[in-house]
Structure 1
Amino acid sequence: MSRIGNPQLLRTMNERLLLDRLRVHGPSSRGELAKASGLSKPTVSAALSGLEEAGLVRLVGSLSGRPGPTTAIYDVNVRAGVVAGVDIGRHWVRLAIADLRGDFIARSDIRNSARSAVDLVRRVRTLAHRVAADAEIDWTAVHYAVIGSPGVLNSATGRLDYAPNLPGWGRAGLVGQLRDALEVESAIENDINLAAVGELTSGAGVGVRNFVLVSIGTGVGMGIVINGELYVGSTGAAGEVSFLPAAEVDAPPDDARQRGMTETVAAAGGVTRNARQAGMSPASAKEIFAAAVAGDARARSVVEAEGRRIGALITAVAAILDPELVVLGGGIGHNVDLLGDSIARRMAELGPLRPRIVASTLGDDGVLTGAVSRALGVARDRLFDRRTPSA
C-alpha cells in the first residue's frame, strides 16, 4: 500500500501535529485545533482520542454558559514523561528535572568542590537523586538526560578531548562511569554547544537563523547555529576557538598548546595574569571588572585590552561564518557594557565586518536550558513512537 494512502500513517501524522500544537500553544478546544491545523473536526476528535488513550493528552477543562454543547479543552499531559539536564562546570554543577513542556519541576545548583573526576561523578549521582526527591519522583523515572560538560566526546576513544579545566575529566572510562552512575539513558555534549541551543530556544537567539555564542570565562569556546540548527563539525570540535592563534603568544608553552593560545590570554587566567603585570593583586577576573566599574585606571586598562582580544576573535569568526548575531556569555563575556567599546574599536581597525553583539540573556542557566531542550527532543519522539503502531 502506498504510504500516502496508509490510514495509520495519516492518523499518526495528525496526532503528532496536534500534540506539537498543544505543546507549543497550550490548552485548546477541538474547534481551535481544527482551525489552526486545517484538519476537520472529526479528524481532530479521532486524533485526540488516540492521544488521550496513550496518556499524552488529557482533558483539562470545559467551557459552557453559551448556546450549544459544552466545549472540551485539551492539553498535553506534561507529566507523561520527565527529562533531566546536567551542567558540569569548573566551579558549579547544576541539575534540573523538567516536564514535557520544558518547565523545571525541581532544580539544584552546587559548588564543584570535587577533588577528582571519580569524586565529581559521585557528586553528580548524589545530586541527581536529591533533585528527583525534590520533584517527588524516583530518579529512574527520568526518560532521558543530557549532560553538558567541557570538552568534546571523541567517538573513537570514548574520551572527552579538550577539557583541561576539569582535572582527570579526559581519562579513559570516565564517560562510561558517568553514564553508569546516572542509571538512566543519557548523552554527553559540549557545554558551550548546549548554551547555544539554550539561546536558540529560550534566549537571545530566538528567531535568529544564524548566530554564534562566544563564551569567555574559565575557558573560551563557541557554539555555532546555522540555519536554525546547531553545527558541530565532522568530529564535534567546531567552535573550539580557544585554539585560534593569539599574537601575544609567539612560542606557545605546553599549557598554551593544551588549552589553546586564545584561551591562555583571553580566559579568566589570562586576565588576572595581565592585571598582576599591571601592578594589581586581584583574586579573580570578577574582581578586576568590579574595580574597572569603580574607576580604577589599571583595571580599566586590563578590561580595554581584553575587549580588544575579544574584538579580534569576533572578527575572525565573522570572516568565516558571517553570523547575524554574536551572543557573548561566560563570566567575562557577559560584561558587554564594559567590553563593548573596546570590542567595537578593535573590529573597526581590522575591517568592515559588523555582526550585532549582545550579552547572553540566559547567563548561568544557558547550558542547563540547552541540555533540557536536547533531552526533550529525544524524549518527546520516543514517547510518541512508543505508543504508535508501526506504519
Structure 2
Amino acid sequence: MTLDRAPAMIARQASTRLVIEQVLRGGPISRAEIARGTGLSKQTISEVMRELERGGWVREEGQVQGAVGRSAVTYAIRPDAAFVLGIDLGGTKLHLALADLHGQIVAEIVEPTQHAGGAAVIEQIGRLADTLVEKVGIARDRVRSAVMGSPGIVDPRSGAIMIAPNVPGLDTFDVRAALRARLGIDVAIENDVNLAAVGEHWCGGSKDARSFAFVALGTGIGLGIFADGRLLRGARGAAGEISYLPLGGDPYDARGHRVGTLEMAVGSAAMLGRYVALGGSDKLTVREIFDRLDEDAAGRAVMDEVARIVATAILAIHSIIDPEVVVMGGNVGARPELVRCIAAHLGRCMAEPVRIESSRLGGRATLIGAIAGAIDQVHQAVFGIGAGTGLRAPPDLAMAAAS
C-alpha cells in the first residue's frame, strides 16, 4: 500500500468499525438509523454496507416503516457468516458447543474428561471439535475462533494452566499453543468462573448490572468480578481466587496452601466432613444431603454453617468492589435453599444487604461465556472491535442456555 492511499484505507476501516458497531448494538437497523448513530454520510454507509454484504457479514433482515410513509431496508449480522467453538473443561466432564455469530448453539457434545489429563485432554478436545464440525456439515475454515474455560489460571510466560489439580498435567506445557495447533484456529483460555460471569453478564440475571460478583461454589469456590462493565482479571489473571481468603479457618495452616483456607471450609469435601462429624451418613453426596434437608437436622446445620462463612466472604467482596448484585453459581452455590440462607446471614452482618440471587444459566454459564468470548474474538479479528461492542444475546438464547 502506498503512503498516499494509507489515510483513505484508515478512514474506511474506521467507518466500517462505526457501522458494524451500530449493527451489533441495534440490528436489525436501517441505513438512516446507522447515519444518526455514527454521523457518517449516506454515501459512506452505503459503500460500507455493500462491502459487508459482498463479504457475507451482513444481510437484509426486513423493512421498517419510515416517518413519511416510506419503508426502509434493515440490516443485521449474518449468523452463519462464521462459527465459534465454546469449551468448558472440568475435572469430571468436557463440554463443547459450536455456535453461530448470534450465539445460537448448532451442536454440542459432552463426555467424561480424560483422566490422563495433559496432552490426552488436548487430543480429546480436538476429536470432539471434529465431531461437531462433521455433525453440522460445515467446512472447517468456517470455524473462526474458540475460547476454553478451565479451572486455575494461565501463566502468561509459559502458557501452562496453574492451580488446576482436578485436570493433571496442564501445568507442564503451553496449553493454548497446543490447542491452536490441534484446532487450527485462534484459541483463548480463561478461568472457568470468569467465563461463567461473562455468560451471566451476556444473557443471565446480571446482564443489566455494570458491577456484580459471580460466586461459584461446588468442589471449590471461585469468584468472577465485573467492575464498571468489564471483567476484572488482575495483573496475572488471578483476580477472584477467593479460595485463599483467610476466612473459615487458619490461613497459617499449611494444609490450606494448596486449595486455600476458604475452600477448605466451604468446599464439597468440607461439607461432607462436617456432615459426618454431626452424625450424618458417609455414604451421601452433597447433592443428596441438600435433597433431604427437610428431614435431616445435620444437613441443615451444615448448610447454615457454610452459608454463614460464605456470607462473610460476600461481605468482604462487597467492601472492596461494591457490586449491584451477587450471583451464586456452581452445583452447590446455586441451590435456592443455600441462597436464602446466605441472604439471611447477610441481613445480620450488613446494614444494607447486597442483593443475592441464583444463577439463571446454572451449569451452562461457563459454556455460554466461552461462546460470547469467542464471538467477541471474531469481531476483533475481522472488524477491529470487541469487548465493548455491547453484544446482545438474542432473547431466546437465555432460555435455551438455562434449559
TM-score calculated relative to the size of structure 2: 0.85
Partner of 2:361: 362
1:1-391 matches, within 5 Å, as: 8-35=9-36, 37-60=38-61, 71-112=72-113, 114-249=115-250, 252-254=253-255, 256-281=256-281, 282-292=283-293, 294-335=294-335, 337-352=336-351, 354-384=353-383
Could you tell me how far 1:353 is from its partner in structure 2? 5.5
Task: Decide whether aligned partners of structure 1 residues 48 and 251 sit closer, same or farther in structure 2, where only a CA change above 3 A counts.
Answer: closer
What secondary structure sits across from 1:55 in the alignment? coil
1:358/1:53 CA distance change after superposition, 3 Å = same
Pair 138,52 (structure 1): closer, same or farther in 2 beyond 3 Å = closer
Partner amino acid, structure 2, of 1:203:
G
Q: Count the aligned residue pairs.
A: 377
| Letter paired with 2:301 | S
State which drifts further: 360-369 or 276-285: 276-285
Aligned equivalents of 2:326, 2:114: Cα separation in 1: 32
Contact kept? 2:328, 2:339, Cα under 8 Å = no
Q: What is the Cα deviation at residue 334 of structure 1?
A: 0.2
4+ residue segments displaced more than 6 Å: 67-70
What are the Cα deviations for residues 192-250 of structure 1, in whole angstroms up to 9, with x where unaligned? 11111111111122121111111111221101111100111111111000011134347
| In structure 2, distance between residues paired with 1:345 and 1:61 | 50
Farther off after superposition, 222-231 or 270-279: 270-279
Cα pair 1:193 1:224 within 8 Å, conserved: yes
C-alpha separation in 2, matches of 1:315 and 1:236: 23
Supply the distance in 2 between the matched residues of 1:61 and 1:347 (Cα, whole angstroms): 50
8 Å Cα contact 1:160/1:175 also seen in 2: no
Aligned-residue RMSD, C-alpha:
2.7
Give secondary structure in 1 for the equivalent of 2:81: coil
Quick one: structure 1 residues 59 and 222, their matched pair in 2 at CA, closer, same or farther if it must change by over 3 Å? Answer: same
The amino acid of 2:210's aligned partner reads R
* Cα pair 2:247 2:313 within 8 Å, conserved: no
* Cα offset, 1:349, TM superposition: 4.3
What's the counterpart of residue 389 of structure 1? none
> 2:18, 2:135 → 1: CA distance?
33
The code of the aligned residue for 2:355 comes to R
Cα shift at 1:129:
0.8
TM-aligned CA deviation for residue 149 of structure 1: 0.3
Q: 100-109 vs 167-176, which deviates more? A: 167-176
Please tell me the residue identity of whatever aligns with 1:129.
Answer: D
Answer whether contact 1:145 1:186 (CA < 8 A) is retained. yes
Contact 1:97 1:107 in 2 (8 A): yes
Alpha-carbon shift at residue 273 of structure 1 (Å): 1.5
| 1:136 Cα offset (Å) | 1.4
Q: Is the 8 A contact 2:118 2:170 kept in 1?
A: yes
1:371 is displaced (CA, Å) by 1.2
1:19-54 per-position Cα deviation (integer Å, ceiling 9, x unaligned) = 233334333443444455554443432221222233
Tell me if structure 2 keeps the 8 A contact 1:164–1:258.
no
For structure 2, the 5+ residue unaligned runs are 1-5, 386-403
Is the 1:83–1:376 Cα contact (8 Å) retained in structure 2?
Answer: yes
Tell me how far apart the structure 1 counterparts of residues 48 and 271 of structure 2 sit (CA, whole Å).
58
Superposed CA deviations along residues 238-277 of structure 1, whole A, max 9, x for unmatched, are 10000111343475344x2101111122111211121121
**Structure 1 residues 319-328 or 339-348, which shifts more?**
339-348
Conserved 8 A contact 1:224-1:230: yes
Other structure's SS at 1:318 match: helix
Which amino acid counterpart does residue 266 of structure 1 have in structure 2? V
Whole-Å separation in 1 of the counterparts to 2:326 and 2:63: 46
Could you give the per-residue CA deviations for residues 49-86 of structure 1, whole angstroms, max 9, x where no partner exists? 2222333223355689xx99885443322222222111
Q: Tell me, yes or no, if the aligned pair for 2:251 and 2:261 is still in contact at 8 Å.
A: no
CA distance in 1, matches of 2:193, 2:27: 30
